Copies of this chain bind each other. A is one copy, B any other.
Amino acid sequence: MTTLDHNLDTQTNVPAGEGFTAALRRDHDRLFEAFWAHPFLAGLRDGSLSREATLFYVGQDHQYLSAYLRCYGLGMAASPDRAWMEHFVDSSLFLLNDETHPHHVMCRAFGVDYEQVQHARLAPSSQAYIDHMMVSGHDSLGVLSFALLPCPWTYIWAGERYLQQVDPATAENNPFHEWWTFYGSPDSQQLLSDLLERCDQLAAQAGPAERARMARAFELSCYHEIRFWQMAFTQESWDDVPNEVLGSD
């Protein structure tokens, strides 16, 4: 095991003039880098990701996005005004109508129908991530928003980074190239920028206790993003029990 050296109890101190999201991004840069470095994402970069890992990801991510919709619902329920409600309705429409596109790209790469790869059940790490988001959604609009933020932030940040550095020859042959252009698009950048502004507004209105819960929810979702790659990469199952442990009995 590699231990990423980190003190979980570090307080997020926001210097004067810096937004709360910028401070969190700085504090958790190592988690963004671990997200980027994970072999699942590396496999999407060079086109080498296995059929099994890719399709397992699609099946789990479809369920994950259903939970994301449920969290948008909790967001609507906690909305202080119609502008916030419209934000969640618009986000729901985007997720229902557009965010299936990257899934279809992945299915096409292996000549499989989207309907064929659906999963009835969530793997342990997907379930844990979803439950974390739902619990955050029963806390406050602020805590929910920071639990939801790492998903778009890591994907859109990684998409932009890929497009900036990809070799045109690699891109041409990468069956996942359209996956990257979806997340790295200017539209996605704009969506992320709007989200960050909303989150900074919520943090500015929150007291210290809620702000600490926001930071914690954000950090846990960053970890969950990395664990989601790992879940798909290993096609994780509830019935995995390490041999070395049971063997020692």
Residues of A within 8 A of B (CB): 1-6, 8-9, 34, 37-39, 42, 66, 69-82, 85-86, 88-89, 92-93, 96, 120-121, 124, 127-128, 131-132, 134-135, 137-140, 205-211, 220, 223, 226-227, 230, 233-234, 237-243, 245-246, 248-249
Copy number in the complex reads 4
Give 24 pairs: A residue, B residue, CB < 8 Å, sorted on A.
Answer: A2-B242, A2-B243, A3-B237, A3-B240, A9-B120, A9-B121, A37-B249, A38-B246, A39-B245, A70-B79, A71-B77, A73-B85, A77-B137, A82-B96, A86-B96, A89-B92, A89-B96, A124-B223, A128-B128, A128-B131, A134-B135, A140-B210, A206-B207, A226-B241
Shortest beta-carbon distance from A164 to chain B in Å: 19
Residues of B within 8 A of A34 (CB): 241
- Look across to chain B and name the residue whose beta carbon is closest to the beta carbon of A136: B131
A70 touches which of B66, B76, B96, B223 (Cβ 8 Å):
B76
A66 touches which of B5, B73, B85, B242 (Cβ 8 Å):
B85
- Look across to chain B and name the residue whose beta carbon is closest to the beta carbon of A5: B239
Residues of B within 8 A of A72 (CB): 73, 76
CA distance A122 to B79 in the complex (A): 16
Shortest beta-carbon distance from A138 to chain B in Å: 6
Residues of B within 8 A of A245 (CB): 38-39, 230, 233-234
Residues of B within 8 A of A240 (CB): 1-3
CA distance A3 to B241 in the complex (A): 7
- Look across to chain B and name the residue whose beta carbon is closest to the beta carbon of A220: B127
A6 touches which of B9, B80, B239 (Cβ 8 Å):
B239
Residues of B within 8 A of A9 (CB): 120-121
Residues of B within 8 A of A89 (CB): 89, 92-93, 96
A42 touches which of B70, B80, B238, B249 (Cβ 8 Å):
B249
Given contacts A128-B127, A205-B208, A205-B209, contact A246 B37 (CB under 8 A): yes
Residues of B within 8 A of A134 (CB): 77, 131, 135, 138
